[in-house]
Structure 1
Amino acid sequence: MRLSALILFLLFSISGKSQSSYSGHVGTSPVTLVMHHYSDGVSQAYYVYDKYDSPITINGNLKDGELTLFEKDKDGNTSATLVFEKFEENNREINGEWISADATRTYKIKLQKDFDISYGDNAERKTKELIQSNSTKEHYFKTVITKEKTGADARVSGVKVFEKGTDKLIQAIKLDCQLLAIDNVSVGDYNFDGIEDFSVFEASYAGPNTSSIYILRDPDSGKYLKSNFNGTSLEFDNDSKLIYEHNQCCAGKGHINATYKVVNNEMVLIERKCLVYDDKKEDFVETACK
């Protein structure tokens, strides 16, 4: 199975002014919820029970003032629905209901907005920490989001690693990354040693090209260390234990594909192929890589 570093570019079609973080309760259980809404009504969200610190994805839609979010089980079936009536993005308090799929259990939801993460020139010059939707078995993550000066975009200036269950801060890592619409952290085994690592989205470039920073967990110390892994739109194949790179340019008429293996936590090139589109042949042809 491949672990893809390619980010869905719909995330960059940002219509809403921000993503928002809320805290409150589902029933009597304390939770944190993060959400972002798009102009077509699609809503991306996740929430975390403070007791367990394991994020739950609850994507859905916002239509005519009613926000509906769907919680899925491991097979992709809806296990619960979260409904918020009379919802508006600028509300400081939102109320709703958690309803199990068979409707035998319902819990009231009451949340207060803690902050918005805004984009562009309107972003506040204030550091915020945003819990992420991906976690390992032992740890969850918060990105540190800062805006240094007027006119600059807010950026991810670091990531904090917390222990699940105790909320103990395990590690803080300094970074300088582009702020993604809702989630910057992914989890995977990037050096194929059987230990969960994590990555932070770094930047988007021309076309579909992206980069991420890959942070590996050291099996001896248990600490996370920034790796030297680098490349464009990397994909990690745990079956073959290979890394695939794809770099596209020239409005899709040029492609560079490379394959790497991992040796002593370093990417070692196996092969690289370059393709260009031949207008006469109306197909891609292999060419010498520059």
Structure 2
Amino acid sequence: MRIILLLLIIFTSVSGNSQSSYSGSLGKYPINLIMYHYGDGDSRAYYVYDKFDTPITINGRLEAGELKLFEKDDSEKVFATLIFKDFKESDKTIKGKWISIDKSKTYEISLNKDFDIDYGDNIEWESKELIQSKSTKEHYFKTIITKEKGQFYGRISGVKIFQKKSDKLIQTIELDCQLFGIDNISVGDYNFDGIDDFSVFEASYSGPNTSSIYILRDSNSDKYLKSNFSGTSLEFDNDSKLIYEHNQCCAGRSHMNATYKVANNEMILIEQKCLEFDEEKEDFIEIECE
């Protein structure tokens, strides 16, 4: 459901703007901050303390030149607000304040824009590295974004994996994926071995159908391996240790549902069912899957 809602935001937004990467300080601490603003004022953002390398989500709104971003605790309660007055997306330098919810603590924020991820047929660049909003306990990720002239949107051509705190580059993996707003990477245990893996959003198709590249952590090292996991809109159930696939087309008149188990890091089909809407019965009937 999260993927579907994000897709609707991205593709129905009146004027989705560029992603922007900033670096500077919050109080005395160096940080990086990533922001993406939609035409309706919705702002998606996160920041990372250089010392810890763990992304902190701070979504909010941009209205009448004032940008408010909200930092929440583990129970989803807001405990701090980041405020930038007279904010313009074109500004190369921005200043604001981090204010605790009880106003007992305030820290100055000073940031310089490092780069934008712009859209347009005439824009091109070789590569820009964008730290991502999800991380594991030990590693954080940067997507490599490239853009060729004549292509309206950039593409993700790879991902870099770094050790937290030391910033040691562990691995670079080549990819070819659609640029998906601000959330291109997700973290989860996709092969149910108790170790966090990660995935990169690959593409969106008709309706709510999506695909991702699933990259599994080697249990004996810091290395990761691109898996053979594939399918449409996969969901991973860590309780049952099963993978569910759902593919729909034709304005919701045709559905395919499948269930898989994992063995030796491979998806094994357990069950598959296909349904199609029958005009005469005015209901879905089961049909043979192709």
TM-score range, shorter chain: over 0.9
- SS of 1:51's equivalent in the other structure is coil
Name the structure 1 match of 2:56.
Answer: 56
Q: CA deviation at 1:49?
A: 0.5
Q: CA deviation at 1:118?
A: 1.4
Contact 1:5 1:212 in 2 (8 A): no
Letter in 1 for 2:165: G
Name the structure 1 match of 2:46.
Answer: 46
Change (3 A) 1:265 1:28: same
Gapped runs of 5+ residues in structure 1?
none
Letter in 1 for 2:59: N
Instruction: Give the structure, 1 or 2, with the largest relative contact order (CA under 8 Å, sep 6 or more).
Output: 1
| Alignment deviations for residues 51-93 of structure 1 (CA, whole Å, 9 cap, x no partner) | 1000000000010000000001110100110000001111111
Contact 1:6 1:235 in 2 (8 A): no
Name the structure 2 match of 1:163.
Answer: 163
Letter in 2 for 1:208: P
2:11 matched to 1:12? yes
More divergent stretch after superposition (271-280 vs 102-111): 271-280
| Alignment deviations for residues 13-61 of structure 1 (CA, whole Å, 9 cap, x no partner) | 4523311000111111100000111111100000001110000000000
Provide the C-alpha distance between the structure 1 equivalents of 2:60 and 2:218, rounded to a whole number of angstroms.
37
Q: CA deviation at 1:123?
A: 3.6
Provide the C-alpha distance between the structure 2 equivalents of 1:39 and 1:266, rounded to a whole number of angstroms.
42
Name the structure 2 match of 1:222.
Answer: 222
Contact 2:46 2:133 in 1 (8 A): yes
Contact 2:47 2:58 in 1 (8 A): yes
- SS of 2:16's equivalent in the other structure is coil
Name the structure 2 match of 1:83.
Answer: 83
Provide the C-alpha distance between the structure 1 equivalents of 2:260 and 2:213, rounded to a whole number of angstroms.
17
| TM-score, length basis structure 1 | 0.95
- SS of 2:251's equivalent in the other structure is helix
Write the mapping of 1:120-269 to structure 2, written as runs, cut at 5 A.
120-151=120-151, 153-269=153-269
Provide the C-alpha distance between the structure 1 equivalents of 2:39 and 2:152, rounded to a whole number of angstroms.
24
Q: CA deviation at 1:5?
A: 6.7
Would you say how many aligned residue pairs link Structure 1 and Structure 2? Answer: 288
Q: CA deviation at 1:127?
A: 1.0
Gapped runs of 5+ residues in structure 2?
none
Letter in 2 for 1:32: N
Contact 1:67 1:83 in 2 (8 A): yes
Contact 1:129 1:145 in 2 (8 A): yes
More divergent stretch after superposition (7-16 vs 92-101): 7-16
Contact 1:99 1:105 in 2 (8 A): yes
